[in-house]
Amino acid sequence: MASPMRTLQHEKFSVNAEALKALVAENQVVGIIIGYPLNMDGSEGPRCQSVRAFVRNLEAVVALPMLLWDERLSSDIAHAQMIEGGLRAAQRGDKVDKLAAAAILQSYLDQA
């Protein structure tokens, strides 16, 4: 069962890569699932190219298997979970990324 940990703020690549390396070491991570921002029709847009570039750079720093996974509707799932949990809009803002990441991972686990 996937559960959220923490969200890294967008920093320089080197800062994020070091933070990811630390998380990998602390949590004995064996692989990384990366949200892949496909368009709703399943096609790849410019954001997909950015994610692929990020993965190429990360592979040089973190020696783990990495898999791109469809992240469509993950934010919608996160918002629905928070509404169902009774969180008001003001309380949801900083939690959506964590829950969306957990939804992406859970989707992968459900398919495995």
pLDDT attached to residue 7: 80
Domain tally for the chain?
A: 2
pLDDT attached to residue 37: 95
Neighbour-count burial of 41, counting CB atoms closer than 10 A to its CB (0-12 exposed, 13-18 middle, 19+ buried): exposed
For residue 84, give its domain range: 73-112
pLDDT attached to residue 36: 96
pLDDT attached to residue 91: 78
Q: Which of 80, 81, 70 is nearest to 40 (CA)?
A: 70
pLDDT attached to residue 47: 94
Domain match, 110 and 90 both = yes
Q: How far is CA 9 from CA 13, 16, 94, 104, in A?
A: 11, 8, 11, 18
Are the CB atoms for 64 and 29 separated by under 8 Å?
A: yes
Residue 10's beta-bridge partner residues?
none
pLDDT attached to residue 96: 84
Identify the three-state secondary structure at position 24.
helix
Q: Which mean pLDDT values do the consecutive 10-residue runs of the chain (112 residues) have?
A: 76 90 91 94 95 95 94 87 85 82 91 84
pLDDT attached to residue 76: 85
Domain match, 21 and 56 both = yes
Domain match, 26 and 59 both = yes
pLDDT attached to residue 5: 77
Q: Which residue has the tokens 């080197």?
A: 14
Domain match, 18 and 65 both = yes
In a domain, 4, yes or no: no
- Between helix 46-59 and helix 13-27 the angle, nearest 10°, is 60
